[in-house]
Structure 1
Amino acid sequence: MFRVLDLKLDVRGAEHIPVSGGAVLACTHVSYLDFIFCGLAGLPSGRKTRFMAKEQIFRNRVAGPLMRGMRHISVDRAAGQASYREAVEKLSAGEVVGVFPEATISRSFTVKPIKSGAIRMAVEAGVPIVPMTVWGSQRLWTKGRPKNLTQRHVPVLIRAGAPFQPTKDDDLDKLTITLRERMQTLLDEAQRDYPEKPRPGTDTFWLPAHLGGTAPTPEEALDSSPRPE
Protein backbone atom coordinates (compact mmCIF):
# COMPACT_ATOMS: atom_id res chain seq x y z
CA MET A 1 0.00 0.00 0.00
CA PHE A 2 2.86 2.37 0.85
CA ARG A 3 4.41 1.73 -2.57
CA VAL A 4 1.11 2.38 -4.32
CA LEU A 5 0.66 5.63 -2.40
CA ASP A 6 4.33 6.47 -2.99
CA LEU A 7 4.70 7.71 0.58
CA LYS A 8 7.95 9.61 1.10
CA LEU A 9 9.33 7.73 4.10
CA ASP A 10 12.26 9.41 5.84
CA VAL A 11 13.74 7.34 8.67
CA ARG A 12 16.57 8.80 10.76
CA GLY A 13 18.16 7.59 13.97
CA ALA A 14 17.53 3.90 13.29
CA GLU A 15 21.04 3.21 14.54
CA HIS A 16 19.80 4.02 18.05
CA ILE A 17 17.69 0.86 18.14
CA PRO A 18 19.86 -1.93 19.58
CA VAL A 19 20.57 -4.89 17.31
CA SER A 20 20.04 -7.32 20.20
CA GLY A 21 18.40 -7.38 23.59
CA GLY A 22 15.19 -5.80 24.77
CA ALA A 23 14.27 -2.15 24.27
CA VAL A 24 11.23 0.09 24.73
CA LEU A 25 10.34 2.33 21.79
CA ALA A 26 8.41 5.30 23.20
CA CYS A 27 6.72 7.14 20.34
CA THR A 28 4.58 10.23 19.93
CA HIS A 29 1.04 9.58 18.68
CA VAL A 30 -0.66 11.61 15.94
CA SER A 31 -2.24 8.89 13.78
CA TYR A 32 -3.92 5.51 13.85
CA LEU A 33 -1.07 4.27 11.63
CA ASP A 34 1.83 5.29 13.88
CA PHE A 35 2.61 1.77 15.05
CA ILE A 36 3.38 0.78 11.45
CA PHE A 37 5.70 3.73 10.81
CA CYS A 38 7.37 3.57 14.22
CA GLY A 39 8.07 -0.11 13.68
CA LEU A 40 9.86 0.61 10.40
CA ALA A 41 12.72 2.21 12.33
CA GLY A 42 13.69 -1.17 13.76
CA LEU A 43 14.04 -2.94 10.42
CA PRO A 44 17.58 -1.67 9.58
CA SER A 45 18.73 -3.32 12.82
CA GLY A 46 16.82 -6.48 11.98
CA ARG A 47 14.31 -5.87 14.77
CA LYS A 48 10.57 -6.32 14.71
CA THR A 49 8.56 -4.38 17.26
CA ARG A 50 5.71 -5.77 19.34
CA PHE A 51 3.31 -2.89 20.07
CA MET A 52 0.92 -2.37 22.94
CA ALA A 53 -2.50 -1.35 21.60
CA LYS A 54 -5.96 -0.98 23.07
CA GLU A 55 -7.99 -4.17 23.00
CA GLN A 56 -10.79 -2.61 20.91
CA ILE A 57 -8.47 -2.80 17.90
CA PHE A 58 -8.09 -6.54 18.44
CA ARG A 59 -11.90 -6.87 18.27
CA ASN A 60 -12.10 -5.13 14.89
CA ARG A 61 -13.01 -7.62 12.16
CA VAL A 62 -10.29 -6.30 9.83
CA ALA A 63 -7.54 -5.09 12.14
CA GLY A 64 -8.06 -7.77 14.80
CA PRO A 65 -6.71 -10.75 12.84
CA LEU A 66 -3.74 -8.66 11.69
CA MET A 67 -2.90 -7.50 15.21
CA ARG A 68 -3.15 -11.02 16.59
CA GLY A 69 -1.17 -12.44 13.67
CA MET A 70 1.64 -9.94 14.28
CA ARG A 71 1.51 -10.88 17.99
CA HIS A 72 1.04 -7.37 19.31
CA ILE A 73 -0.06 -6.91 22.94
CA SER A 74 -3.70 -6.19 23.70
CA VAL A 75 -4.25 -3.60 26.45
CA ASP A 76 -7.47 -3.67 28.43
CA ARG A 77 -7.44 -0.32 30.21
CA ALA A 78 -9.80 -1.67 32.88
CA ALA A 79 -7.31 -4.45 33.69
CA GLY A 80 -3.98 -3.26 32.40
CA GLN A 81 -1.72 -5.24 34.73
CA ALA A 82 -1.86 -8.38 32.57
CA SER A 83 -0.67 -6.54 29.45
CA TYR A 84 1.99 -4.75 31.49
CA ARG A 85 3.31 -8.08 32.76
CA GLU A 86 3.30 -9.51 29.23
CA ALA A 87 5.29 -6.52 27.94
CA VAL A 88 7.88 -6.87 30.72
CA GLU A 89 8.22 -10.58 29.97
CA LYS A 90 8.80 -9.89 26.28
CA LEU A 91 11.36 -7.18 27.08
CA SER A 92 13.16 -9.47 29.51
CA ALA A 93 13.27 -12.11 26.77
CA GLY A 94 15.12 -9.68 24.49
CA GLU A 95 12.25 -8.36 22.38
CA VAL A 96 11.51 -4.79 21.29
CA VAL A 97 8.21 -3.41 22.62
CA GLY A 98 6.62 -0.24 21.28
CA VAL A 99 4.45 2.00 23.44
CA PHE A 100 2.62 5.29 23.05
CA PRO A 101 3.10 6.95 26.45
CA GLU A 102 0.44 9.58 25.68
CA ALA A 103 -2.09 6.67 25.66
CA THR A 104 -4.26 8.31 22.98
CA ILE A 105 -3.72 10.34 19.82
CA SER A 106 -2.76 13.97 20.46
CA ARG A 107 -5.33 16.15 18.71
CA SER A 108 -3.11 19.21 19.21
CA PHE A 109 -0.12 17.51 17.50
CA THR A 110 2.05 18.38 20.49
CA VAL A 111 3.14 15.83 23.10
CA LYS A 112 0.47 15.34 25.76
CA PRO A 113 1.34 14.57 29.38
CA ILE A 114 2.62 11.00 29.32
CA LYS A 115 2.11 7.95 31.49
CA SER A 116 4.98 6.44 33.48
CA GLY A 117 4.44 2.89 32.20
CA ALA A 118 7.22 3.01 29.61
CA ILE A 119 9.76 4.02 32.26
CA ARG A 120 8.54 1.43 34.74
CA MET A 121 8.69 -1.37 32.17
CA ALA A 122 12.23 -0.44 31.18
CA VAL A 123 13.34 -0.35 34.82
CA GLU A 124 11.77 -3.71 35.64
CA ALA A 125 13.14 -5.43 32.53
CA GLY A 126 16.53 -3.68 32.71
CA VAL A 127 16.38 -2.38 29.14
CA PRO A 128 16.90 1.02 27.46
CA ILE A 129 14.22 3.40 26.22
CA VAL A 130 14.43 4.88 22.72
CA PRO A 131 12.37 8.10 22.34
CA MET A 132 10.72 8.38 18.92
CA THR A 133 8.41 10.53 16.85
CA VAL A 134 6.37 10.13 13.68
CA TRP A 135 5.18 13.15 11.72
CA GLY A 136 3.05 13.34 8.56
CA SER A 137 0.98 10.24 9.23
CA GLN A 138 -1.82 12.42 10.61
CA ARG A 139 -2.52 13.55 7.05
CA LEU A 140 -3.63 10.00 6.24
CA TRP A 141 -5.74 9.09 9.26
CA THR A 142 -6.04 10.84 12.60
CA LYS A 143 -8.56 11.26 15.37
CA GLY A 144 -11.68 13.24 14.50
CA ARG A 145 -10.98 13.30 10.75
CA PRO A 146 -12.06 10.97 7.94
CA LYS A 147 -9.24 8.70 6.83
CA ASN A 148 -7.63 9.56 3.50
CA LEU A 149 -5.75 6.47 2.37
CA THR A 150 -5.82 7.50 -1.28
CA GLN A 151 -3.62 10.57 -0.81
CA ARG A 152 -0.33 10.02 -2.61
CA HIS A 153 3.26 11.26 -2.15
CA VAL A 154 2.76 12.24 1.52
CA PRO A 155 6.07 12.66 3.38
CA VAL A 156 6.22 10.72 6.65
CA LEU A 157 9.17 11.50 8.93
CA ILE A 158 10.27 8.87 11.44
CA ARG A 159 12.86 9.87 14.02
CA ALA A 160 14.55 7.83 16.76
CA GLY A 161 16.57 9.57 19.46
CA ALA A 162 19.48 8.44 21.60
CA PRO A 163 18.49 5.70 24.07
CA PHE A 164 18.80 6.00 27.83
CA GLN A 165 18.52 3.31 30.47
CA PRO A 166 16.61 4.10 33.65
CA THR A 167 17.35 2.25 36.87
CA LYS A 168 15.40 1.52 40.04
CA ASP A 169 17.50 4.15 41.85
CA ASP A 170 16.32 6.94 39.54
CA ASP A 171 13.42 9.27 40.23
CA LEU A 172 10.69 7.84 37.97
CA ASP A 173 8.71 11.09 37.88
CA LYS A 174 11.77 13.04 36.71
CA LEU A 175 12.58 10.36 34.12
CA THR A 176 9.02 10.53 32.80
CA ILE A 177 9.42 14.30 32.37
CA THR A 178 12.77 13.71 30.64
CA LEU A 179 11.20 11.20 28.24
CA ARG A 180 8.40 13.62 27.36
CA GLU A 181 10.92 16.40 26.73
CA ARG A 182 12.96 14.16 24.42
CA MET A 183 9.86 13.10 22.52
CA GLN A 184 8.78 16.75 22.14
CA THR A 185 12.26 17.74 20.92
CA LEU A 186 12.14 15.05 18.23
CA LEU A 187 8.64 16.14 17.22
CA ASP A 188 9.69 19.79 17.03
CA GLU A 189 12.63 18.82 14.80
CA ALA A 190 10.43 16.70 12.53
CA GLN A 191 7.88 19.51 12.20
CA ARG A 192 10.68 21.97 11.39
CA ASP A 193 12.21 19.62 8.80
CA TYR A 194 8.93 18.64 7.15
CA PRO A 195 9.30 19.30 3.42
CA GLU A 196 5.71 20.38 2.71
CA LYS A 197 3.43 23.18 3.84
CA PRO A 198 -0.33 23.41 3.23
CA ARG A 199 -1.13 24.99 -0.11
CA PRO A 200 -3.01 28.32 0.03
CA GLY A 201 -6.72 27.74 0.45
CA THR A 202 -6.36 24.15 1.67
CA ASP A 203 -7.25 22.74 5.07
CA THR A 204 -4.51 23.20 7.66
CA PHE A 205 -5.97 20.66 10.11
CA TRP A 206 -2.72 18.68 10.19
CA LEU A 207 -0.62 21.56 11.52
CA PRO A 208 -0.52 22.46 15.23
CA ALA A 209 -1.88 25.84 16.24
CA HIS A 210 1.55 27.23 17.15
CA LEU A 211 2.66 26.63 13.55
CA GLY A 212 -0.40 28.35 12.08
CA GLY A 213 -2.62 25.30 11.68
CA THR A 214 -6.22 24.76 12.72
CA ALA A 215 -5.52 21.86 15.09
CA PRO A 216 -6.77 22.64 18.60
CA THR A 217 -4.31 24.03 21.11
CA PRO A 218 -3.26 21.66 23.90
CA GLU A 219 -5.71 23.43 26.20
CA GLU A 220 -8.55 23.16 23.69
CA ALA A 221 -7.75 19.50 23.06
CA LEU A 222 -8.59 18.71 26.67
CA ASP A 223 -12.18 19.43 25.66
CA SER A 224 -13.76 17.16 23.05
CA SER A 225 -15.69 20.04 21.49
CA PRO A 226 -14.40 21.45 18.17
CA ARG A 227 -12.13 24.43 18.14
CA PRO A 228 -14.16 27.65 17.55
CA GLU A 229 -13.62 29.36 14.22
Structure 2
Amino acid sequence: MTRAARLLDGLRPAPETAAAFVALSVAELAVLAAYVAATPGDVTAVRYLLYPFAWLNAAALAVWRVDLAPASRRRRVLAAAAGAGYFLALAWVGGLVSPAHHAGGVTVYWGLPPGWGPLVVAIVGPARFAPTPYQAVGYLALAYLVAAAVRDADASLTGLVVGAFSCVSCTLPLLAAAVSAVAGGTVGVAASAAWSYDLSTLAFLSAVCLLAWRPDAALLSRLR
Protein backbone atom coordinates (compact mmCIF):
# COMPACT_ATOMS: atom_id res chain seq x y z
CA MET A 1 0.00 0.00 0.00
CA THR A 2 1.38 3.41 -0.98
CA ARG A 3 1.81 6.30 1.47
CA ALA A 4 -1.07 8.16 -0.11
CA ALA A 5 -3.32 5.11 0.21
CA ARG A 6 -2.39 4.69 3.87
CA LEU A 7 -3.09 8.35 4.58
CA LEU A 8 -6.46 8.23 2.83
CA ASP A 9 -7.29 4.98 4.60
CA GLY A 10 -6.77 6.78 7.91
CA LEU A 11 -9.53 9.22 6.95
CA ARG A 12 -12.06 6.40 6.53
CA PRO A 13 -14.62 6.55 9.35
CA ALA A 14 -14.83 3.72 11.87
CA PRO A 15 -17.87 1.39 11.55
CA GLU A 16 -19.46 2.81 14.71
CA THR A 17 -19.00 6.35 13.38
CA ALA A 18 -20.60 5.43 10.06
CA ALA A 19 -23.50 3.71 11.84
CA ALA A 20 -24.09 6.74 14.06
CA PHE A 21 -24.01 9.04 11.03
CA VAL A 22 -26.57 6.89 9.19
CA ALA A 23 -28.86 6.81 12.23
CA LEU A 24 -28.56 10.58 12.65
CA SER A 25 -29.32 11.16 8.96
CA VAL A 26 -32.41 8.93 9.09
CA ALA A 27 -33.71 10.80 12.15
CA GLU A 28 -33.10 14.16 10.46
CA LEU A 29 -34.87 13.08 7.28
CA ALA A 30 -37.85 11.98 9.37
CA VAL A 31 -37.98 15.37 11.12
CA LEU A 32 -37.65 17.18 7.80
CA ALA A 33 -40.37 15.07 6.18
CA ALA A 34 -42.69 15.80 9.09
CA TYR A 35 -42.02 19.53 8.77
CA VAL A 36 -42.65 19.55 5.01
CA ALA A 37 -45.85 17.55 5.44
CA ALA A 38 -47.14 19.94 8.10
CA THR A 39 -46.15 23.13 6.26
CA PRO A 40 -48.60 24.52 3.69
CA GLY A 41 -47.25 25.52 0.30
CA ASP A 42 -44.45 24.21 -1.86
CA VAL A 43 -40.78 24.29 -0.87
CA THR A 44 -39.01 26.42 -3.48
CA ALA A 45 -35.41 26.00 -2.27
CA VAL A 46 -34.78 22.57 -0.80
CA ARG A 47 -31.12 23.32 -0.17
CA TYR A 48 -32.05 25.80 2.56
CA LEU A 49 -33.79 22.99 4.41
CA LEU A 50 -30.71 20.77 4.12
CA TYR A 51 -27.97 23.26 5.01
CA PRO A 52 -28.68 23.23 8.78
CA PHE A 53 -28.29 19.45 8.82
CA ALA A 54 -25.01 19.74 6.90
CA TRP A 55 -23.73 22.10 9.60
CA LEU A 56 -25.02 19.96 12.47
CA ASN A 57 -23.72 16.67 11.07
CA ALA A 58 -20.30 18.07 10.23
CA ALA A 59 -20.04 19.63 13.69
CA ALA A 60 -21.05 16.40 15.43
CA LEU A 61 -18.67 14.21 13.42
CA ALA A 62 -15.74 16.59 13.84
CA VAL A 63 -16.17 16.94 17.60
CA TRP A 64 -16.58 13.16 17.87
CA ARG A 65 -13.40 12.57 15.86
CA VAL A 66 -11.13 15.14 17.52
CA ASP A 67 -9.97 14.53 21.07
CA LEU A 68 -8.31 17.10 23.31
CA ALA A 69 -4.64 16.21 23.56
CA PRO A 70 -2.91 16.18 26.98
CA ALA A 71 -1.42 19.58 27.67
CA SER A 72 0.05 21.70 30.41
CA ARG A 73 -2.20 23.89 32.52
CA ARG A 74 -0.91 27.01 30.77
CA ARG A 75 -1.70 25.56 27.33
CA ARG A 76 -5.14 24.37 28.49
CA VAL A 77 -5.99 27.89 29.66
CA LEU A 78 -4.67 29.35 26.41
CA ALA A 79 -6.69 26.85 24.37
CA ALA A 80 -9.87 27.58 26.32
CA ALA A 81 -9.38 31.33 25.90
CA ALA A 82 -8.71 30.93 22.17
CA GLY A 83 -11.83 28.81 21.71
CA ALA A 84 -14.03 31.19 23.71
CA GLY A 85 -12.69 34.25 21.89
CA TYR A 86 -13.14 32.55 18.53
CA PHE A 87 -16.77 31.69 19.32
CA LEU A 88 -17.56 35.20 20.52
CA ALA A 89 -16.00 36.70 17.40
CA LEU A 90 -18.03 34.44 15.12
CA ALA A 91 -21.20 35.06 17.16
CA TRP A 92 -20.73 38.82 16.84
CA VAL A 93 -19.92 38.81 13.12
CA GLY A 94 -22.65 36.26 12.46
CA GLY A 95 -25.33 38.29 14.20
CA LEU A 96 -25.97 35.80 17.00
CA VAL A 97 -25.06 38.66 19.34
CA SER A 98 -25.61 42.30 18.45
CA PRO A 99 -26.38 45.65 20.09
CA ALA A 100 -29.98 46.10 21.25
CA HIS A 101 -31.90 49.08 19.92
CA HIS A 102 -35.09 48.82 21.96
CA ALA A 103 -36.45 47.56 25.27
CA GLY A 104 -35.76 44.08 26.59
CA GLY A 105 -37.89 41.01 26.07
CA VAL A 106 -37.89 37.41 24.84
CA THR A 107 -39.58 36.20 21.65
CA VAL A 108 -39.66 32.60 20.42
CA TYR A 109 -40.24 31.84 16.73
CA TRP A 110 -41.61 28.30 16.40
CA GLY A 111 -42.61 28.21 12.74
CA LEU A 112 -39.12 28.12 11.24
CA PRO A 113 -37.72 25.00 9.50
CA PRO A 114 -35.73 22.47 11.58
CA GLY A 115 -32.30 23.84 12.36
CA TRP A 116 -33.38 27.42 11.68
CA GLY A 117 -35.70 27.26 14.65
CA PRO A 118 -37.01 27.35 17.20
CA LEU A 119 -35.32 30.73 17.31
CA VAL A 120 -35.17 32.51 20.65
CA VAL A 121 -34.53 36.25 20.42
CA ALA A 122 -33.70 37.79 23.78
CA ILE A 123 -32.69 41.33 24.66
CA VAL A 124 -30.66 41.55 27.85
CA GLY A 125 -29.49 45.03 28.73
CA PRO A 126 -27.57 46.48 25.78
CA ALA A 127 -27.21 43.14 23.97
CA ARG A 128 -29.54 41.28 21.61
CA PHE A 129 -29.15 37.48 21.43
CA ALA A 130 -30.60 35.66 18.40
CA PRO A 131 -28.77 32.31 18.13
CA THR A 132 -29.93 30.43 15.04
CA PRO A 133 -29.64 26.82 16.29
CA TYR A 134 -27.52 25.36 13.49
CA GLN A 135 -25.16 28.34 13.45
CA ALA A 136 -24.74 28.31 17.21
CA VAL A 137 -23.88 24.60 17.18
CA GLY A 138 -21.55 25.08 14.22
CA TYR A 139 -19.70 27.95 15.84
CA LEU A 140 -19.38 26.00 19.10
CA ALA A 141 -17.87 23.11 17.14
CA LEU A 142 -15.40 25.45 15.44
CA ALA A 143 -14.47 26.88 18.84
CA TYR A 144 -13.87 23.36 20.17
CA LEU A 145 -11.71 22.49 17.15
CA VAL A 146 -9.72 25.70 17.55
CA ALA A 147 -9.14 24.90 21.22
CA ALA A 148 -8.05 21.37 20.29
CA ALA A 149 -5.65 22.79 17.69
CA VAL A 150 -4.13 25.19 20.22
CA ARG A 151 -3.63 22.36 22.72
CA ASP A 152 -1.73 20.40 20.06
CA ALA A 153 1.67 22.05 19.75
CA ASP A 154 2.16 20.63 16.25
CA ALA A 155 -1.25 21.63 14.89
CA SER A 156 -1.46 23.33 11.53
CA LEU A 157 -2.86 26.88 11.45
CA THR A 158 -4.48 26.37 8.03
CA GLY A 159 -7.90 25.64 9.47
CA LEU A 160 -7.81 28.66 11.76
CA VAL A 161 -7.51 30.98 8.78
CA VAL A 162 -10.33 29.32 6.85
CA GLY A 163 -12.58 29.19 9.90
CA ALA A 164 -12.52 32.95 10.22
CA PHE A 165 -14.49 33.18 6.97
CA SER A 166 -17.26 30.75 7.98
CA CYS A 167 -19.74 33.61 8.39
CA VAL A 168 -19.83 34.56 4.71
CA SER A 169 -23.61 34.82 5.01
CA CYS A 170 -23.10 38.08 6.92
CA THR A 171 -19.88 39.51 5.52
CA LEU A 172 -20.49 38.88 1.82
CA PRO A 173 -23.66 41.00 1.50
CA LEU A 174 -21.83 43.90 3.16
CA LEU A 175 -18.95 43.57 0.72
CA ALA A 176 -21.34 43.32 -2.20
CA ALA A 177 -23.19 46.42 -1.01
CA ALA A 178 -19.95 48.39 -0.98
CA VAL A 179 -19.00 47.19 -4.46
CA SER A 180 -22.51 47.89 -5.72
CA ALA A 181 -22.41 51.42 -4.34
CA VAL A 182 -19.20 52.08 -6.25
CA ALA A 183 -20.56 50.50 -9.43
CA GLY A 184 -23.90 52.26 -9.10
CA GLY A 185 -26.04 49.15 -9.39
CA THR A 186 -28.00 46.74 -7.21
CA VAL A 187 -27.59 43.45 -9.05
CA GLY A 188 -24.49 42.50 -7.09
CA VAL A 189 -26.26 42.90 -3.77
CA ALA A 190 -29.15 40.67 -4.80
CA ALA A 191 -26.79 38.02 -6.14
CA SER A 192 -24.67 38.00 -3.00
CA ALA A 193 -27.74 37.69 -0.77
CA ALA A 194 -29.05 34.81 -2.88
CA TRP A 195 -25.82 32.84 -2.61
CA SER A 196 -24.65 33.92 0.84
CA TYR A 197 -25.90 30.82 2.68
CA ASP A 198 -24.41 28.55 0.01
CA LEU A 199 -21.00 30.17 0.40
CA SER A 200 -21.34 30.20 4.17
CA THR A 201 -22.01 26.46 4.24
CA LEU A 202 -19.11 25.75 1.89
CA ALA A 203 -16.76 27.85 4.01
CA PHE A 204 -17.98 26.24 7.24
CA LEU A 205 -17.55 22.69 5.93
CA SER A 206 -14.07 23.58 4.64
CA ALA A 207 -13.12 25.03 8.02
CA VAL A 208 -14.40 21.96 9.88
CA CYS A 209 -12.51 19.59 7.58
CA LEU A 210 -9.26 21.51 7.88
CA LEU A 211 -9.51 21.93 11.64
CA ALA A 212 -10.38 18.25 12.17
CA TRP A 213 -7.82 16.86 9.73
CA ARG A 214 -5.18 19.62 10.07
CA PRO A 215 -3.16 18.96 6.92
CA ASP A 216 0.24 20.59 6.76
CA ALA A 217 2.73 21.00 3.96
CA ALA A 218 4.60 17.79 4.82
CA LEU A 219 1.40 15.73 4.79
CA LEU A 220 0.17 17.17 1.54
CA SER A 221 3.51 16.51 -0.13
CA ARG A 222 3.15 12.80 0.65
CA LEU A 223 -0.11 12.64 -1.30
CA ARG A 224 1.62 13.42 -4.57
Tell me if TM exceeds 0.5. no
Query: Structure 1 length normalisation: TM-score?
Result: 0.23
Query: Structure 2 length normalisation: TM-score?
Result: 0.23
Greater RCO structure (CA 8 Å; 6+ sep):
1
Write 1 or 2 for the structure with the bigger share of helix.
2
Write 1 or 2 for the structure with the bigger share of strand.
1
